[in-house]
Amino acid sequence: MTNQDTVPWVILGVIAAGFAVLAVAWLGGTLGAAASGAGWHPPPFTLKTLLRLLFGGGPATVWPGAAPAWVWAGILT
């Protein structure tokens, strides 16, 4: 295999890893928010949700009304 043959696989791997991170954050955060008493109100399953969580103000912007500690606990467990 040459270097040019591996580039598409690396790109595919990066996309798959990003999707996995989004799925874990979305499901874990939504479960954490529900466990905190905020109810089952999942945010949209989009890249924008992950970016808002990491760079746009944290869990309070993605799951309003939920305790951030519960949201992070849901994501990390």
The domain spans of the chain are: 21-76
pLDDT at 52: 94
Q: What is the mean pLDDT of residues 60-73?
A: 94
Q: Residue 47: CB partners within 8 Å, gap ≥ 6?
A: 18, 22
Would you list the DSSP string of the chain? Answer: --HHHHHHHHHHHHHHHHHHHHHHHHHHHHHHHIIIII-S-PPPSSHHHHHHHHHSSTHHHHSTTS-HHHHHHHHH-
CA distance 29 to 13: 24
- pLDDT level of residue 1 (50, 70, 90 thresholds): low
For the segment 8-65, what is each residue's pLDDT rounded down to a tens digit?
999 999 999 999 999 999 999 999 999 999 999 999 999 999 999 999 999 999 999 9
